Amino acid sequence: MEGLKHFPLDDKMDEEILFECPVCSEAVPHEIIKKRESKKHLKLTVRCLNCGHTHNIEKTVKLKDVKIIISRYGESEKKVVQFPTDEILEVGEVINIQGEDVEITSIETTKRVSSSKIQDIETLWAKSISIPKKVGISINDGKTTHSVNVLVPQDYVFDNESIYRIGNAFFRIKMIKTEKGTFKREIAGKIKRIYAENVKPFKKYKDLSEYYSNL
Ligand SMILES: [Zn+2]
């Protein structure tokens, strides 16, 4: 089943998927040229995007409908997706659901588990990481603290050395809080909250104004 990992088994044909290439001898991106499937059988003709070699992949697949609840900014949507029964999923893993990258946040079998074979899974919870990340920043001016939100790309890097600007406010980051602790530098996707302090206007700064959100 190795080569089928995260193959979404829907009608999207234009995605790049990792398969073992017999020429490259490693898992590399392939494009699917042709797909024939029945409920239990899948035959793919694929082309290696690394070396151009075309080969066939045949699998006998048992599929299971799994309920997945995807959250985006606190709203959630329920979908039912078919997965191969012997695929293993784990919390923290990123999978593609109908073109949207989502990170698995919780897995329920008969109880909450951190990983499981699909065949035992009742419900998956996930958060979309295809959308920008909303990051809350608490800025202290010495007397009071006010909060602003920015919507930035998931891989936007914040650090405690830069001066940031939003509109007329200039600030420096004191602490970046994530699920795993506090950091001096982190990507937006992992950040729970940023704590910052106002500074005087500065010539060199990173402007976050365009990312400001009043959501
Ligand atoms: Zn190849």
Q: What is the pLDDT of residues 143-168, one digit of tens each?
A: 999 999 999 988 899 999 999 999 99
Strand, coil or helix: what is 43? Answer: strand
pTM of the model: 0.54
Higher-scoring residue by pLDDT: 94, 62: 94
Assess whether 154 and 209 both reside in one domain: yes
Assess whether 73 and 52 both reside in one domain: no
Token representation of residue 59: 């699998």
Is the confidence at residue 14, as pLDDT, over 60?
no
Is the confidence at residue 24, as pLDDT, over 50?
yes
Domain that holds residue 71: 63-128
Measured in angstroms, how far is the CA atom of residue 55 from the centroid of ligand 1?
Answer: 10
Q: What is the pLDDT of residue 161?
A: 96
Q: What is the pLDDT of residue 9?
A: 46
Measured in angstroms, how far is the CA atom of residue 170 from the centroid of ligand 1?
Answer: 50
Higher-scoring residue by pLDDT: 108, 28: 108
Given 128, 160, 185, the domain boundary residue is: 128
Q: To the nearest 10°, the Cα dihedral for 23, 24, 27, 33?
A: -50
Is the confidence at residue 46, as pLDDT, over 90?
yes
Assess whether 165 and 199 both reside in one domain: yes
Residues in the chain: 215
Residues 6+ positions from 131 with CB-CB distance below 8 Å: 72, 73
Measured in angstroms, how far is the CA atom of residue 86 from the centroid of ligand 1?
Answer: 26
Measured in angstroms, how far is the CA atom of residue 25 from the centroid of ligand 1?
Answer: 7
- The number of domains in the chain is 3
Assess whether 137 and 201 both reside in one domain: yes
CB 86 within 8 A of CB 60: no
Assess whether 144 and 199 both reside in one domain: yes
Given 110, 128, 146, the domain boundary residue is: 128
Measured in angstroms, how far is the CA atom of residue 82 from the centroid of ligand 1?
Answer: 28
- DSSP one-letter string for 47-68: EETTT--EEEEEEE--EEEEEE
Assess whether 164 and 119 both reside in one domain: no
Return the half-sphere exposure (C-beta side, CA atoms, 13 A cut-off) of residue 213.
13
Q: How far is the CA of 92 from the CAs of 89, 97, 127, 128, in angstroms?
A: 9, 15, 10, 12
Assess whether 25 and 9 both reside in one domain: yes
CA proximity to 128, closest of 171, 73, 190, 57:
73
Measured in angstroms, how far is the CA atom of residue 6 from the centroid of ligand 1?
Answer: 20
Phi and psi (nearest 5°) for 193? Answer: -165, 150
Assess whether 145 and 189 both reside in one domain: yes
Measured in angstroms, how far is the CA atom of residue 46 from the centroid of ligand 1?
Answer: 10
Strand, coil or helix: what is 188? Answer: helix
